């Protein structure tokens, strides 16, 4: 099996954990958004209750876009997640963030604007001395993507956030602006490396998320235009969920160009991931096999798959995944939900890559017959959490009750919520990971009164609430709640 060495580091057996968007964490210290160092008490809590995995949504810089899957860089971290209170010599006054801290939804643009203002003042105070340290110089010298990213962000600032296609030829950003963005990335990586060190000390595996596609207005596309097919955008063909199809607006990878360069761009990206996590999730893994391509000016329904020949899909996907496995020491997981060619699944299994199995979508498959190379979950960030699903889809809830030999009731009780979570942790999958909020619903004080407020994202929509979810309780309340910890330990018992 291609991933034998990777599995030896993790252990081929049951692993349990939680998934969350970092931005959703609410703590007494942060500035209205979850921050890197908020993960340290969460890691300690995970280990205390019996979890050994913590999965995070992407942490890439997305500018002011709330979606973590529309990155401006394949490697750079978003400085919005910096824990200001931990920075050496930082002032303790964070009054400007108070309204953001009190908001029930994430005020991302306001938080980031305020943080960047604060960080500019901090930069002017400490950069001259910090830039002379060995650790800073080593970071600059060992981070090959950094200069193009900092040039790109500096130019975006200089040209009022215009698309790079609208910049003048060969723009030369201000040197201090480049230093500022180098400085921010140094701080981001330093803090996330602290988080990884804490995870190491607790034998907990951090799972990072790798967005498959990139914003067309990103540092990577700007600097490596020859690696992307800019005359097409990725999307999805018409189906039962979107009768007109979808145009996501992302440029396609030019796999022939990447292959001729020995996948150097992907290897650079994988090297960055390997410094931060222990496992990584490959978003939209089917895109490595084939992608729905829409020519500029055409409707989604007028698109076609690339490669056009289905006989080439498996060969291409296998080649790319084998390259990733051979180059990167981290174990990959795959998001293989949606319309997937059946031939993809045997490839993932042969390579030892876990796919994703959503409990409510598995029909009446007995739990001990789940494919071991899989991750069982009860929901994803794109889905209704369990209580809302139960409420909105009574026919599906009724069928699930028949499967469980339960008498149907229109409201999912906390007791049944716990039982479904227990089921999800005791399938024959190697991995069992659920959204943190699914465990909180058993305690009314930990959930929003309106279940719709528990949605993280509604795919295919441009709702202002997408990707702005915040937990109702503070993290301090969660980690000190003894009944919650006891419930989770009971769920994990065989």
pLDDT at 338: 87
Q: Percentage of residues in the chain with pLDDT exceeding 70?
A: 99
Task: Output the CA angle 62-68-73, nearest 5 degrees.
Answer: 40
* Alpha-carbon distances of 278 from 40, 66, 337, 384, 425, rounded to whole Å: 16, 26, 23, 28, 21
pLDDT at 229: 97
**pLDDT 10s digits, 310-362:** 999 999 999 999 999 999 999 999 999 988 999 999 999 999 999 999 999 99
Q: Would the pLDDT of 53 be above 70? A: yes
Task: Name all domains of the chain by residue range, CATH numbers in brackets.
Answer: 4-492 (3.20.20.80)
**pLDDT 10s digits, 193-210:** 999 999 999 999 999 999
**pLDDT 10s digits, 1-40:** 799 999 999 999 999 999 999 999 999 999 999 999 999 9
The residue-averaged pLDDT of 416-440 equals 98
Q: Would the pLDDT of 48 be above 90? A: yes
pLDDT at 460: 82
- Region of 73 (left: φ > 0; alpha: ψ -120 to 50; beta: rest) is beta
**pLDDT 10s digits, 112-123:** 999 999 999 999
pLDDT at 93: 65
Q: Would the pLDDT of 92 be above 70? A: no
Q: Would the pLDDT of 137 be above 90? A: yes
* Alpha-carbon distances of 286 from 14, 75, 314, 338, rounded to whole Å: 25, 22, 10, 9
The label of the residue with tokens 């799972």 reads 207
Q: Would the pLDDT of 235 be above 80? A: yes
Q: How far is Cα 78 from Cα 75, in angstroms, rounded to an integer?
A: 10
The residue-averaged pLDDT of 382-407 equals 96
pLDDT at 154: 97
**pLDDT 10s digits, 261-288:** 999 999 999 999 999 999 999 999 999 9
**pLDDT 10s digits, 211-229:** 999 999 999 999 999 999 9
The label of the residue with tokens 């960055």 reads 272
pLDDT at 363: 85
> How high does pLDDT run on average in the chain?
96
pLDDT at 90: 78
Q: How far is Cα 426 from Cα 435, in angstroms, rounded to an integer?
A: 16
Q: Which residues contact 489 (CB under 8 A, 6 or more apart)?
A: 49, 50
Rounded to the nearest 10 degrees, how much is the dihedral formed by the CA atoms of 418, 423, 425, 430?
A: -170
Q: Would the pLDDT of 412 be above 90? A: yes
Length of the chain: 494
Q: Would the pLDDT of 430 be above 90? A: yes
Single pTM value for the model: 0.97
């Amino acid at each position: 099996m291609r991933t034998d060495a990777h599995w030896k580091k993790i252990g081929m057996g049951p692993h349990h954990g939680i998934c969350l968007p970092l931005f959703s964490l609410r703590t007494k210290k942060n500035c209205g958004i979850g921050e890197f160092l908020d993960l340290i008490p969460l890691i300690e809590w995970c280990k205390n209750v019996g979890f050994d995995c913590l999965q995070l949504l992407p942490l890439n810089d997305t500018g002011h876009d709330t979606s973590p899957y529309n990155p401006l860089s394949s490697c750079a971290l978003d400085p919005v997640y910096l824990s200001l209170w931990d920075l050496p010599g930082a002032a303790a006054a964070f009054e400007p963030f108070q309204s953001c801290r009190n908001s029930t939804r994430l005020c991302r643009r306001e938080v980031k604007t305020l943080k960047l203002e604060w960080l500019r003042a901090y930069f002017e105070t400490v950069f001259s001395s910090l830039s002379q340290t060995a650790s800073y110089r080593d970071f600059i010298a060992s981070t090959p993507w950094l200069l193009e990213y900092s040039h790109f962000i500096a130019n975006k600032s200089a040209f009022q956030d215009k698309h790079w296609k609208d910049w003048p030829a060969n723009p030369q950003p201000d040197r201090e602006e480049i230093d500022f963005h180098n400085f921010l990335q140094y701080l981001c990586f330093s803090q996330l490396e602290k988080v990884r060190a804490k995870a190491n000390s607790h034998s907990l595996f951090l799972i990072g998320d790798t967005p498959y596609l990139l914003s067309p207005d990103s540092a990577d596309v700007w600097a490596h235009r020859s690696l992307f097919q800019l005359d097409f955008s990725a999307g999805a063909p018409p189906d039962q969920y979107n009768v007109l199809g979808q145009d996501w607006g992302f440029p396609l990878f030019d796999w022939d160009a990447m292959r001729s360069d020995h996948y150097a761009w992907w290897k650079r990206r994988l090297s960055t991931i390997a410094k931060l996590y222990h496992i990584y999730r490959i978003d939209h893994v089917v895109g490595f096999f084939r992608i729905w391509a829409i020519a500029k000016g055409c409707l989604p329904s007028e698109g076609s798959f690339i490669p056009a020949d289905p006989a080439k899909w498996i060969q291409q996907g296998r080649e790319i995944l084998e390259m990733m496995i051979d180059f990167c020491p981290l174990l990959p997981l795959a998001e293989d939900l949606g319309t997937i060619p059946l031939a993809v699944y045997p490839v993932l299994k042969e390579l030892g890559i876990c796919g994703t199995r959503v409990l409510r979508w598995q029909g009446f498959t007995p739990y001990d017959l789940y494919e071991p190379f899989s991750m069982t979950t009860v929901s994803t960030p794109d889905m209704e959490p369990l209580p809302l699903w139960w409420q909105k889809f009574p026919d599906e809830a009724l069928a699930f009750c028949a499967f469980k030999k339960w008498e149907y009731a229109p409201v999912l009780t906390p007791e049944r919520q716990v039982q479904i979570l227990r089921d999800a942790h005791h399938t024959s999958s190697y991995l069992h990971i659920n959204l943190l909020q699914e465990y909180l619903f058993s305690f009314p004080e930990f959930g929003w009164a309106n279940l719709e407020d528990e949605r993280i994202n509604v795919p295919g929509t441009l709702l202002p609430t997408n990707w702005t979810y915040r937990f109702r309780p503070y993290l301090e309340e969660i980690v000190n709640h003894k009944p919650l910890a006891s419930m989770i330990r009971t769920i994990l018992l065989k």
